[in-house]
Chains A and B, each alone.
Chain A
Amino acid sequence: MADLSTNFIGIKSPNPFWLASAPPTDKAYNVERAFEAGWGGVVWKTLGEAGPPVVNVNGPRYGAIWGPDRRLLGLNNIELITDRDLEVNLREIAEVKRRWPDRAMVVSIMVPCEEQSWKAILPRVEDTGADGIELNFGCPHGMSERGMGAAVGQVPEYIQMVAEWCKHYSKMPVIVKLTPNITDIRYPARAAKAGGADAVSLINTISSIVSVDLDNFAPVPTIDGKGSHGGYCGPAVKPIALNMVAEIARDGETRGLPISGIGGVQTWRDAAEFIALGCGTVQVCTAAMTYGFKIVQEMTQGLSDWMDEKGYATIADFQGRAVPNVTDWQYLNLNYITKARIDQDLCIKCGRCHIACEDTSHQAITSMVDGVRHFEVMDDECVGCNLCVNVCPVDDCITMVEMTVGSDPRTGKPIDPRYANWTTHPNNPMAKEAAE
């Protein structure tokens, strides 16, 4: 059995699955249930300053998009940080940590961007016995209007400054949670590192309007006829999160900075992908909010089974293994040639591959052969784009097969086994200049 335990910047947990700071971690009741179900750790729902807590809307706070069978693909929310009293939260954090010493207890914090505010709250959190803190620089709605959350996360100088305060006023490991609502994720990550943060976590939610109610012409969720943008999360955001994680993992300045991966993790496989891109833990919110805490058991067992199958004894054995393979387009091998292949035994003859290729790509799939409905790839037209693979409803029915010998029937050119990329390609004007 693979060992799933992790030690992330000194914070230990029996498995890498943490619940992200969100409603599932807003009170002792939920967190206890999560630990009972098997979650390795939690990031407690973001705490604000002492005094009267923030208030939430009293109408709907969520909106969603769905796939077939109303499977939730993307969730949007306009919820703020915790609306419970700071004292109550701190007391519960301390109690839960005492009862579950082996689980990671990280506390998310968002207070105004003033040294005094941070100085005031940090010792209080430290007193709970929490394992670390996460600075919420990500919330894109509501809090950002008050100069917090994403409003800080979008200014690298502020990130660095607050991280420095945190390292100065506390001994706890500091994780900076990044907002994706920014053009280049490397800048805030570099700032976090420069400020002395021990790790970054990403992504927080993406600014979004999830849909428009066509009866009253207002964004959803609608509060008394009006809506405001919310934060988007769930399976739909995973690709964006993976890219941002990869950017940080391979950036010269931040390489090696510990990352807690967040965004759309639904299964063990999603988690394994984040870890392969360098993450030490993953955080989950929407999957738990959709299915309840029990899903963690699929995640831990699935990851463990896969690691056993692959012969990885610990998380570290495959952590970051995909990072060296993330590169820029210009370095991709232009001599690598693939053709789509349809497994006729699996094909159910829906014709989707044909019409996708015919109408929108390269006219490379038959629909009729000798008067019979038959879908087959014509190698002399196939550019190997992979679209048909993605539209086919049957798993593994169409695969991309590499051509290693002979010539490409589409171009007539012999297969060149050598690696050659755009930087040296004759059609690249820059390449010519460089050569001259």
Chain B
Amino acid sequence: MTATQSADVKAQRLSSADYADNFSDIHPPLTPHEALVEADRCYFCYDAPCMTACPTSIDIPMFIRKIQAGNPVGAAKTIFDQNILGGMCARVCPTETLCEEVCVREVAEGKPVKIGLLQRYATDTFMEREQPHPFTRAAATGKKIAVVGAGPAGLSCAHRLASLGHDVTIYEAREKAGGLNEYGIAAYKTTNDFAQDEVGFILEVGGIAIETGKALGRDITLDQLPQDFDAVFLGLGLPGVNALGLEGESAAGVIDAVDFIGVLRQAEDLSLLEVGRRIVVIGGGMTAIDAAVQSKLLGAEEVTIAYRRGQEHMNASLYEQELAQTHGVVIRHWLAPRSLHVTDGAVSAITLEKTALDAAGKLSGTGELVTLEADQVFKAIGQTPDSGPLAGSVELDKGRIRVSDDRRTSHPKIWAGGDCVAGGEDLTVVSVEDGKIAAQSIHKALMA
């Protein structure tokens, strides 16, 4: 894009101290004292509801009790047993809709045990104390497995397979492993290069080789992999993004929110990142919230999220919505994008139409238009799967890979999990569980 930007988009809107401050941990870690006080609140429930709500079934009462008993390292082992990315999940899980939502103390007093923060306390302590890796590999099985994609699903699958004694090769298209942990999660949720530290921690188990810069469909194919390996796991995520389908979408300043975040996450110096003065984010999910909040933190003055349905329909949890609002983001509901205004090759405003549900419950425009001035428009209306690299090898379901309960695809040697499969929830923790289930299924199939 070479168009000159008459729009107000620039870097260094803030002082360098502000950048550091704005992008530090959004939830500071618990101090040892805070962790003990919080751990004491847990009732050690029987058949604990929190544990049932955790997609990876971490034994929450047990790990909290270990913190209580002065054994945070042991607590971390309990967590890693079920979820080797327990450190990242502690930072990014929307606990308010998972474990903490059903904690009996949430139900009773509206104040859940802070499970996420305790999980972080345990896993951080483990990693800070440089403990030996919590898993020991089983005797070598001689089986070779290819994992495509080094996101949470691929890493989790690879780790479990390696622990079970298999040899794993991960093929990753990008330069770094980690998937959206590295390129997508909001910067203030995972500070200090935690994603790469965690990848390093996972690889310590041994038996996992990562080949970065290797893309399925370009450098390797789904025809060949099953011939070279005993099994294949696909953890491709959702590489595409939905388009607005409006004229002017290629103008400067109309940006994929995920790309924006990816660039932000990789930036060496946040003060050099350009950001518009007035920003409109289109969407209602976690990505929209993260893009909005982070642009605000970069110094954007007016940030508006425009969502085409009501608050109750937003994919972002109430907690996330509040987070955006406390950062000064305005969330406007019942507004659908209709046209982009382009000045000198760059976006300058967006016109949206008010929407409503008709009697039949169908969303439609009311005809009333609203125009918001914008130096940048972020598209966050959903990521999309890419079936290209699959080359018809596995059956799909609305573009995503169809899998059984144990994450088997229609191909006998191929398993899949994470965001790329149908029916999932597009959460880090769900992807971790998918990878784990697939690994166990692969192990069973190969050792039968």
Contact = CB atoms under 8 A, between A and B. Distances in A.
A351 B36 contact: no
A351 B107 contact: no
Contacts of A352: 43-46
Interface in B23-51: 36-37, 40-41, 43-49
Nearest to B47: A351
B105 interface: yes
Contacts of B45: 349-352
Contacts of A367: 46-47
A348 B37 contact: no
A394 B104 CA distance: 11
B447 interface: no
A349 B40 contact: no
A351 B48 CA distance: 8
17 contacts: A68-B40, A348-B104, A348-B108, A349-B45, A349-B49, A350-B43, A350-B45, A350-B46, A350-B104, A351-B48, A352-B45, A352-B46, A355-B47, A367-B46, A367-B47, A393-B43, A394-B108
Contact of A351 (B40, B46, B105): B46
A425 interface: no
Contacts of B47: 351, 355, 367, 373
Contacts of A68: 40-41
Nearest to A351: B46
Interface of B: 36-37, 40-41, 43-49, 104-105, 107-108
A141 interface: no
Interface in A323-380: 348-352, 354-355, 367, 373
Given A69-B37, A373-B49, A349 B107 contact: yes
Closest CB pairs A-B (n = 6): A351-B46, A355-B46, A68-B40, A348-B108, A350-B45, A348-B104
A349 B104 contact: yes
Contact of A348 (B40, B46, B48, B105): B105
Interface of A: 68-70, 348-352, 354-355, 367, 373, 393-394
Contacts of B43: 350, 352, 393
A129 to B, nearest CB: 48
Given A350-B43, A354-B46, A393-B43, A70 B36 contact: yes
A70 B40 CA distance: 9
A394 B108 CA distance: 10
Contacts of A393: 43
Nearest to B102: A349
B50 to A, nearest CB: 11
A360 to B, nearest CB: 12
A355 B43 CA distance: 12
A70 B70 CA distance: 13
Nearest to A346: B108
A240 B40 CA distance: 27
Given A68-B40, A70-B37, A351-B47, 16 more contacts: A68-B41, A69-B37, A349-B45, A349-B107, A350-B43, A350-B104, A351-B45, A351-B46, A352-B43, A352-B44, A352-B45, A354-B46, A355-B47, A367-B47, A373-B47, A373-B49
B278 to A, nearest CB: 47
A73 to B, nearest CB: 13
A348 B113 CA distance: 14
Contacts of A350: 43, 45-46, 104
A350 B105 CA distance: 9
A68 B40 CA distance: 5
A367 B47 CA distance: 9
Contacts of B49: 349, 373
A425 to B, nearest CB: 36
A44 to B, nearest CB: 37
B25 to A, nearest CB: 25
A354 B108 CA distance: 18
Contacts of A69: 37, 40
A69 B108 CA distance: 19
A350 B50 CA distance: 10
B65 to A, nearest CB: 12
Nearest to A68: B40
Contacts of A394: 108
Contacts of A354: 46
A376 to B, nearest CB: 14
Nearest to A356: B46
Given A354-B46, A355-B46, A393-B43, A348 B107 contact: yes
A159 B294 CA distance: 78
Contacts of B41: 68
Contacts of A355: 46-47
A391 to B, nearest CB: 10
A216 B36 CA distance: 24
Contacts of B108: 348, 394
Contacts of A348: 104-105, 107-108
A112 B252 CA distance: 97
Nearest to B105: A348
Contacts of B44: 352
A85 to B, nearest CB: 41
A348 B37 CA distance: 21
Contacts of B105: 348
A389 to B, nearest CB: 15
A174 to B, nearest CB: 45
B119 to A, nearest CB: 20
B103 to A, nearest CB: 10
A350 B45 CA distance: 5
A70 B322 CA distance: 34
A352 B43 CA distance: 8
Contacts of B40: 68-69
